[in-house]
């Protein structure tokens, strides 16, 4: 038996887990679904629907399967080994630390400004006579900071559940309101690639809900108190619920794009502002009440992504700093695994956690008032494009090695899905870098 096997067995004896998988335990999946689906993802799906109607619906289904596989692998690593994903990356060599260190600093700086602007857009549309976009953006960032700073995971999860409930109800309501065509919907489940649709297809499969929050899922699993393989069935149910929910979002947005935009040849602004345009279209078609409801859903989508990143990525950063600190003082025992430490909630009160919260909130405000420096955006784009292939291929390496107890290593299906995800994200990575240059 390896050291990892022994540590996992001992911790499982201390935490026998639930007697059976149950819906009442679901939580981290809701958090990752609410965080991973941002306004930009919804706009991209809307535009795909407006250009190709229902034709790319099948891509949304495949996208859900890809995300289920990635998140399941991340959660399985945390539960099977009692170690965090960063500990796993660290075991693959120092190069992973260098990549992650640069990535998380640059990504957080640029993403902070993007998330705040996205959250402010629907507020400006709802209250046009109030403060401008930049002021509302700064306010949403500070609200996110205060909420995550003073609340632990349990409260955070409840807030995310409320917001994803609002998102779900609003998006599905609007999709039903525009009158979906059931024959066309079912026809869209048959794989087809119309001329010029390849990149949109790849974007739907790989883009919705696919960010660093995929890696944060394991940390939320631990923060929930799940730290041993005894929780594996619960985690898998939780994960499936998350990405089935995400899939419903994608299908609903495709329906809205197909019925409301494709049939009338309405063109949206690219980026998050496209959802404001959609609010105007809804107002003209269904009245101000539906438009207002949609803007509330837009805010729930954007702000849930903001506080999700403020919490989840700060938790990852805190683990990153703690791992390096323990290595510096040579704390290397079987009990040094970070999963149990995350479960105590102490990381959420730590200095690195709160330092990264401040990094996400205040320095990015400079980008709200200045044009984003081209060089910084370039580095952000390149590092971000590499992250999902990095996650997929490192999970293959970790879950097929002796680092993982034999019972929980990858089977053939997991390897196929992770390899397919990795290759997909490599193609998207190349395309994104081409667009940058």
Convert the pLDDT of each residue in 107-155 to its tens digit.
Answer: 898 889 888 988 998 998 899 888 888 999 999 999 999 999 999 999 9
Least confident of 21-25, 175-179, 205-209, 295-299: 205-209
Which of 225, 221, 206 minimizes the C-alpha distance to 343?
225
Predicted confidence at residue 217, as pLDDT, reads 94
* 373 has a pLDDT exceeding 50: yes
Task: Please write the tens of the pLDDT for every residue from 289-341.
Answer: 999 999 999 899 899 999 999 999 999 999 999 888 888 776 554 445 688 89
Task: Please write the tens of the pLDDT for every residue from 234-265.
Answer: 999 999 988 888 888 888 888 888 888 776 66
Predicted confidence at residue 382, as pLDDT, reads 65
Average pLDDT, the chain: 84
- Distant-in-sequence, close-in-space partners of 42: CB < 8 Å, separation ≥ 6: 171, 249, 253, 275, 301
pLDDT tier at 15, thresholds 50, 70, 90 = low
DSSP code of residue 259:
I
CB atoms within 10 A of CB 263: 12
| Residues 361-389, mean pLDDT to the nearest whole number | 73
For the whole model, what pTM was predicted?
0.89
Is the CA virtual torsion 186, 188, 192, 194 positive or negative? positive
* 281 has a pLDDT exceeding 90: no
Determine the Cα–Cα distance for residues 376 and 384; give it in Å rounded to an integer: 12
Task: Please write the tens of the pLDDT for every residue from 55-83.
Answer: 888 888 888 888 889 999 999 999 999 99
CA 157 to chain centre: 14
CA 299 to chain centre: 16
């Amino acid at each position: 038996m390896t050291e990892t096997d022994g540590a996992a067995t001992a911790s499982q004896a201390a935490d026998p887990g639930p007697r059976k998988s149950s819906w009442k335990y679901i939580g981290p999946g809701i958090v990752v679904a609410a965080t991973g689906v941002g306004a930009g993802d919804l706009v991209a799906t809307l535009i795909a629907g407006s250009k190709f109607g229902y034709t790319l619906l099948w891509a949304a289904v495949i996208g859900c399967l890809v995300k289920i596989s990635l998140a399941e692998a991340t959660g399985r690593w945390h539960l099977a080994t009692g170690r965090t994903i960063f500990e796993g990356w660290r075991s693959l060599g120092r190069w992973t630390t260098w990549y992650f260190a640069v990535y998380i600093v640059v990504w957080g700086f640029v993403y902070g400004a993007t998330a705040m602007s996205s959250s402010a857009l629907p507020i400006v549309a709802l209250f046009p006579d109030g403060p401008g976009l930049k002021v509302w953006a700064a306010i949403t960032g500070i609200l996110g900071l205060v909420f995550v700073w003073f609340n632990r995971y349990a409260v955070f999860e409840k807030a995310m559940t409320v917001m994803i409930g609002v998102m779900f109800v609003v998006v599905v309501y609007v999709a039903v309101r525009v009158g979906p065509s059931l024959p066309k919907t079912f026809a869209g489940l048959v794989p087809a690639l119309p001329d010029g649709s390849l990149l949109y297809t790849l974007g739907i499969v790989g883009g919705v809900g696919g960010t660093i929050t995929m890696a944060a899922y394991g940390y939320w699993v631990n923060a929930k108190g799940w730290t041993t393989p005894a929780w594996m069935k619960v985690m898998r149910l939780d994960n499936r619920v998350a990405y089935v929910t995400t899939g419903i979002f994608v299908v609903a947005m495709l329906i809205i794009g197909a019925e409301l935009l494709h049939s009338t040849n309405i063109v949206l602004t690219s980026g998050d502002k496209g959802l404001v345009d959609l609010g105007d279209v809804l107002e003209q078609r269904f009245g101000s009440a539906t438009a207002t409801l949609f803007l509330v859903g837009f805010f729930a989508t954007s702000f849930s992504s903001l506080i999700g990143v403020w919490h989840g990525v700060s938790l990852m950063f805190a683990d990153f700093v703690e791992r390096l600190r323990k290595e510096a003082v040579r704390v290397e025992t079987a009990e040094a695994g970070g999963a149990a430490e995350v479960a105590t909630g102490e990381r959420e009160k730590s200095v690195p956690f709160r330092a990264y919260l401040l990094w996400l909130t205040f320095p990015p405000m400079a980008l709200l008032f200045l044009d984003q420096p081209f060089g910084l955006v370039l580095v952000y784009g390149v590092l971000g494009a590499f992250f999902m292939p990095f996650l997929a291929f490192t999970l293959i390496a970790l879950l097929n090695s002796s680092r993982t107890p034999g019972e929980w290593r990858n089977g053939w299906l997991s390897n196929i899905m992770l390899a397919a995800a990795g290759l997909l994200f490599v193609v998207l990575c190349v395309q994104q870098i081409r667009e940058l240059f």
